[in-house]
Chain A
């Protein structure tokens, strides 16, 4: 009961922040609403008992990606404030498509009773954190995707530095 109320409050706040992200006229306000939405998603991860993912969400998304976005916004402004309309000319079609996709997904989710299940309590003997750590580095587990992700990050690092390098 308490969990349901908490979920409803967090979900409503997150969705309201997401709407403010896409609707706000001031781009920096948009970025700050994005931070609120990302924090709400971190709380949802906490509700799903994925504590490690909740903290990593705050560290990676809010602590790095959101700050990067705010820096980029401040570095790409003209002298005057953000000029021009904030929506392009197809915004009505975009709204129709977004609402249509939500309606279709919602109908599909509500129509199959297999989705309407409750959560079984987690096995108290195993700790998801240790299992995750072991899975990420064991050869029978997911060490190959882990190493590929690190190569991807390395490539992105080199690529981003090279693209943004100011050549005199």
Chain B
């Protein structure tokens, strides 16, 4: 009983074959069933995410969060879904109807696509593509198309502006993400995510911590969450490219954003934290699913932690940070990792691990010292901080000892 999913699949296959269907048709029906099961599971997890998000943000902000509907507010997401469903569905005048309606569907669909290549357990996998890593980049690329479609079809200049900036941000942060994703590929000698997870007898975050950090930062920027959420923050551009969306269409965007965050958590776990690996995961495959989601929720918690602790970054600072810091750093890490991989020999040995870890710490130290000298020279260029005028420190003529500090 250690692998219930595969047992049920085998029984179903036998049942369909005994009904006299050809083997090709049986395979087709089983694949279709697999797609439906994965999509449903992930979308139900999405509803749980709404609850997790609201409870955790409340605790970060020193309050309780929803606690009226059901014990600990567990029925709250259901109430949210019902509210979104019964809201009036407004299409703005002059909007392009077909494009307006397809955009939220595309935004959610491209996130669901990513779950096809993530290995859930040693025996559960959607599709073992030998170009799995590039498939993830491709699905992200189609997502940006959904953003532009939403921004343009709304017939609203702020939506269009928000969409432009969002796409500029996403496309810019894709560059260091792709460069940095090459490093698990080098370490595992294969582009298939299944192979990457299988090769992590020692977790990649120990061998390549700088890579993991850069991937986390670019993933947060890809998601469009704080501190990179200039393009959809209410005080900046009033929800950006999805201003004009109401009801369930906005629900699709919102659900897609939360699900994308969990998907990035699952991808980070697969690339750097060993995916489904854990004690007894090979013998009892169903434990692999549990470990994967535990790690995914941990990274999701880290992403939320960053969101609710840091202030927003301005758009030009954001792009400067990407092009002038992250991309050169990513290239440097890639070159150094490739070089050290050739020098140090086979992955999995103690020499390899300690050598890579030492190299990464050296890179961090060098980067920090370069940053320190740059900041120091810039501070000297700007000059001393001028004291701000404070009223009442020096009483003017006619003010009898006012405001003595």
Contacts and interface: CB of A to CB of B under 8 A. Distances in A.
| A adjacent to B, CB under 8 Å | yes
Interface of A: 2, 28-29, 32, 35, 51-52, 55-56, 58-59, 62-64, 66-67, 70-71, 74, 127, 129
Nearest to A53: B131
Contacts of B144: 63, 67
Given A2-B24, A59-B137, A59-B138, A67 B131 contact: no
A52 B131 contact: yes
A74 B145 contact: no
A69 B148 CA distance: 12
A56 B137 CA distance: 9
Nearest to B142: A62
Contact of B142 (A29, A51, A58, A71): A58
A1 to B, nearest CB: 9
Given A28-B99, A59-B134, A63-B141, 11 more contacts: A2-B24, A28-B152, A55-B138, A58-B138, A59-B138, A62-B141, A62-B142, A63-B174, A70-B152, A71-B148, A74-B160
B66 to A, nearest CB: 38
A116 to B, nearest CB: 26
Contacts of B99: 28-29, 32
A62 B131 contact: no
B7 interface: no
Interface of B: 24, 96, 99, 129-131, 134-135, 137-138, 140-142, 144-145, 148-149, 152, 160, 164, 167, 171, 174, 191
A55 B134 contact: yes
Nearest to A28: B152
A71 B164 CA distance: 8
Nearest to B174: A63
Contacts of A127: 130
Contacts of A32: 99, 149
With most chain A CB atoms within 10 A of its CB, the pick from B99, B135, B148, B191 is: B148
B131 A58 contact: no
Majority SS at the chain A contact face: helix
A64 to B, nearest CB: 7
Contact of A64 (B135, B160, B164, B171): B171
With most chain B CB atoms within 10 A of its CB, the pick from A35, A51, A63 is: A63
Contacts of A129: 130-131, 191
Contacts of B131: 51-52, 55, 129
A65 to B, nearest CB: 11
A2 B24 CA distance: 9
Contacts of A67: 144-145, 148, 167, 171
A56 B144 CA distance: 16
B243 to A, nearest CB: 17
A57 to B, nearest CB: 9
A33 to B, nearest CB: 11
Nearest to B28: A2
A28 B137 CA distance: 24
A168 B185 CA distance: 46
Given A52-B131, A55-B131, A70 B148 contact: yes
A66 B130 contact: no
Contacts of A28: 96, 99, 152
Contacts of B164: 71, 74
B3 to A, nearest CB: 28
With most chain B CB atoms within 10 A of its CB, the pick from A52, A56, A58, A59 is: A59
A55 B140 CA distance: 12
Nearest to A51: B131
Contacts of A71: 148, 164, 167
Given A32-B99, A52-B131, A64 B191 contact: no
Contacts of B141: 58-59, 62-64
Contact of B145 (A2, A52, A62): A62
23 contacts: A28-B99, A29-B96, A29-B99, A32-B149, A51-B129, A51-B131, A58-B142, A59-B141, A62-B138, A62-B141, A63-B140, A63-B142, A63-B144, A63-B171, A64-B141, A64-B171, A66-B145, A67-B167, A67-B171, A70-B148, A70-B152, A71-B164, A129-B130
B231 to A, nearest CB: 15
| 9 residue pairs, one from A and one from B, having the closest CB atoms | A63-B141, A58-B138, A55-B134, A59-B138, A55-B131, A55-B138, A59-B141, A52-B131, A51-B131
